[in-house]
Copies of this chain bind each other. A is one copy, B any other.
Amino acid sequence: MPGEIGVGMLGYAFMGKAHANGYRTLAYMTWPPPLVPRLVSIAGRNEDAVAEAANRYGFERAVTDWREIVSDPEVGLFDNSGPNNLHAEPTMAAAEAGKHVFCEKPLGRSADESYEMWQRIERSGVKHMTAFNYRFVPAVRLARQMLEAGELGEVLHFRGRYLQEWGTTDADVWRFNRDEAGSGALGDLGSHVVDLARYLVGEIASVSASTQTFAPGREVDDAFEAVVEFDGSALGTIEATRFAAGRKNALSWEINGTKGSLAFDLERLNELQHSDGTRGFRTILVSESDHPFWEWWWPHGHIIGWEHTFVHEIHHLLKAIAGDATVPPHGATFEDGYRAAEVCDAVLRSAGSGAREAVSYRS
């Protein structure tokens, strides 16, 4: 029987719910789990709401100050599902208190903040992961496997878009506030595209970008468009907007290589389109027993949902924490979180300067 790990979580909204479901589900779906998550403590500002969340998801304690989690000896893993302005301080504190850390994206609100997080947490010696959960979509992982196996040849193009439509809302959302969010569609959606570009193709060398804020008075970008040059000769575009009517959650990308192409759309996340370069695209319903993550699920054709990406992602982290030396580097570390932030910063720089901006990465 595997050991236990105590989980302390900051935040109980959309992401808190998704992470909580991940912990609870992996305990029996990924059998036997590397470690059994014990939901110890959850923190939030509203006392009633956090108590209700604890009751709902099965946390033993509800607290209104995240420092109680940081000092809680029963917590071994600090899960930061809070808003962007609460990423840095609590996560660094938790790591320096010896907790492993799992933090929502974007890691910090800027490359500087992200770099500090990475550096301090790296020095603390704990395991760290940035919640770029789309690396854990089976179809995305299959794409990575095919790329690693050379099935696509050399990659020439990457085109990634993340299109949503809810930017028209009148609601006062923290994601529209520069201090809380850092940036708008760029950090929220674009960081996912950047991470997938890096995960599937490689490092981004330069960006040429424009941004736009459509809603009057909004502090952050509603959309950005960028041309990217990768290390090597590959060329591409990355884009995100909150103003694409009819696009609910349309993270899509296409990769063209010398031997074939791949295409993906998160609204049909169980499918991967593959062309071997001769006769058009094949729709792979990624659910065969030899497909990534599929040993845990159902007979082929019985598709899984968006939420399962967190089951896979947290399983990955727990395996690493459990000391499994064979864990391949699929999870996005805080270094990955930082590097994505460098690209996002370069997008803003380029939008401002009108120049192609080189991306340089601190080590």
A interface list, Cβ under 8 A from B:
14, 18, 20-21, 24-25, 28-29, 31-32, 56-58, 156-157, 159, 161, 163-166, 168, 206, 208-212, 214, 223-229, 233, 235-237, 239, 241, 243-250, 254, 256-261, 266-270, 275-285, 287-288, 298-308, 350, 354-356
Contact B350 A208 (CB under 8 A): yes
A250 to B157, CA, bound (A): 15
Secondary structure dominating the interface of A: mixed
Instruction: Please name 5 pairs of A and B residues whose Cβ atoms are closer than 8 Å in the assembled complex, sorted by A.
Output: A18-B298, A20-B28, A211-B235, A249-B300, A355-B356
Determine the chain B residues whose CB is within 8 A of the CB of A281 once the complex forms.
246, 282-283
Could you tell me if B233 and A212 are in contact, using CB atoms closer than 8 angstroms? yes
Q: Which chain B residues lie closer than 8 Å to A225 at the CB level?
A: 227-228, 235-237
Cβ contact of A159, chosen from B31, B161, B283, B284, cutoff 8 A: B161
Among A24, A233, A275, max chain B CB count under 10 A is at A275
CA of A229 to CA of B275, assembled, Å: 33
Contacts of A163 in B (CB 8 A): 256
Cβ contacts under 8 Å, A256 to chain B:
163, 241, 243-247
Given the interface pairs A31-B56, A261-B244, A277-B165, the reply to whether A249 lies near B301 with Cβ below 8 Å is yes
Closest chain B residue to A282 by CB distance?
B282
A302: which of B249, B298, B354 is its contact (CB, 8 Å)? Answer: B249
Contact B31 A298 (CB under 8 A): no
Given contacts A165-B277, A246-B260, A269-B303, 11 further A-B pairs with CB under 8 A are: A21-B28, A28-B58, A208-B227, A244-B254, A245-B261, A246-B275, A248-B287, A281-B282, A302-B305, A303-B305, A304-B306
